[in-house]
């Protein structure tokens, strides 16, 4: 005996039964009413929406057939219920099986607001990230030892170029300038490290500086970097 599948069958049966009762409820409620335009019969097509079977006109039966019990005013839909458009009293609809109606216009507007707020938040967060990126790092020279494995990575980065000792003067290296430069060249999609153009004439040193910038930015959680074979991909870090 599988009690779970039995429970599912019971739920199914209840759902079918509820749907039948709902249909019956609508039939009974609409029986006494006809299309105000052509007198045709009416069928419920959604909560708070019926349609004439003759002329196909669709309308809200509560708004068309029901009146405020206090003042006789026309009900209007307000979020998930009806209110009298004259005195503001609640009008409980006779045409709603579950007692709930859906104000499509209202919810469309709320959804649009919600999306706008979300993208505002994202823009503010990005602006904050840009601010916090340059502030603490301006305080002193870049500490290359702070990033584990950086020195090894730098060695492998220039492995293909002419041999020689790399002289990296940290005091002359403007990390925040390079970081702004990298930030300015990021795209919504991942880009190749070498797509970030150089900032100085010394191509070799510039490549190192750009690389240090992305390592520091990745370390600060501002960007993500990924190595695919010989290629380094640079991308925005997902804000959320
Ligand atoms: Zn009609
Ligand atoms: Zn009223």
pLDDT digits (tens, 9 = 90+) for 36-47: 999 999 999 888
Of the bound ligands, which one is closest to the alpha carbon of residue 85?
A: 2
Higher pLDDT, 103 or 194: 194
CA of 67 relative to ligand 2 center, distance in Å? 8
Range in 37-51, 129-143, 211-225 with the lowest mean pLDDT:
129-143
* Full DSSP string of 71-109: T-PPEEEETTEEEETTT--EE--SS-SSS----HHHHHH
Contact between 220 and 212 under an 8 Å Cβ cutoff? The reply is no
Q: How far is the CA of 37 from the centre of ligand 1 (A)?
A: 5
Answer yes or no: are the C-beta atoms of 234 and 192 closer than 8 Å.
Answer: yes
Tell me the longest C-alpha to C-alpha distance in the chain.
96
Q: Looking at residues 62-66, what average pLDDT do you find? A: 95
Query: pLDDT higher for 13 or 182?
Result: 182
Closest ligand to C-alpha of residue 70 is 2
Ligand 1: distance of its center to the CA of 33 in Å? 11
**Centroid of ligand 2 to alpha carbon of 25 (angstroms):** 26
Q: Say if residue 171's pLDDT is above 80.
A: no
Rounded distance from Cα 27 to ligand 1 centre (Å): 16
Through-space distance between the first and last CA atoms of the chain, rounded to whole angstroms:
46
List, as ranges, residues with CB under 5 A of the ion ligand 1.
35, 37-38, 40, 52, 54-55, 57
Q: pLDDT category, 138, cuts 50, 70, 90?
A: very low
Give the ligand whose atoms come closest to the C-alpha of residue 58: 1
Burial degree of 75 (CB within 10 A; 0-12, 13-18, 19+): buried
User: pTM of this prediction?
Assistant: 0.45
What's the rounded mean pLDDT across residues 151-173?
Answer: 58
CA of 179 to the centre of ligand 2 (A): 64
């Amino acid at each position: 005996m599988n009690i779970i599948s039995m429970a599912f069958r019971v739920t199914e049966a209840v759902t079918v039964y509820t749907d039948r009762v709902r249909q019956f409820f609508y039939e009974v409620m609409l029986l006494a009413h006809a299309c105000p335009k052509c007198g045709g019969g009416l069928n419920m097509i959604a909560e708070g929406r019926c349609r004439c079977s003759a002329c196909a006109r669709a309308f809200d039966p509560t708004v068309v057939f029901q009146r405020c019990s206090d003042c006789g005013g026309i009900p209007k839909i307000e979020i998930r219920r009806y209110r009298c458009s004259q005195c503001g009293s609640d009008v409980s609809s006779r045409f709603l099986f579950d007692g709930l109606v859906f104000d499509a216009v209202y919810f469309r507007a709320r959804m649009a607001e919600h999306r706008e707020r979300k993208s505002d938040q994202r823009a503010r967060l990005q602006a904050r990230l840009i601010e916090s990126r340059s502030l603490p790092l301006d305080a002193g020279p870049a500490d290359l030892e702070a990033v584990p494995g950086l020195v090894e990575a730098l060695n492998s980065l220039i492995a293909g170029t002419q041999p020689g000792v790399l002289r990296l003067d940290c005091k002359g290296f403007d990390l925040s300038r390079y970081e702004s430069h990298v930030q300015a060249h990021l795209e919504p999609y991942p880009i190749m490290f070498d797509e970030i153009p150089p900032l100085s004439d010394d191509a070799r040193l510039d490549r190192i500086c750009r690389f240090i910038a992305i390592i520091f930015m990745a370390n600060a959680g501002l960007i993500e970097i990924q190595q695919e074979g010989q290629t380094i991909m640079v991308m925005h870090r997902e804000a959320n």
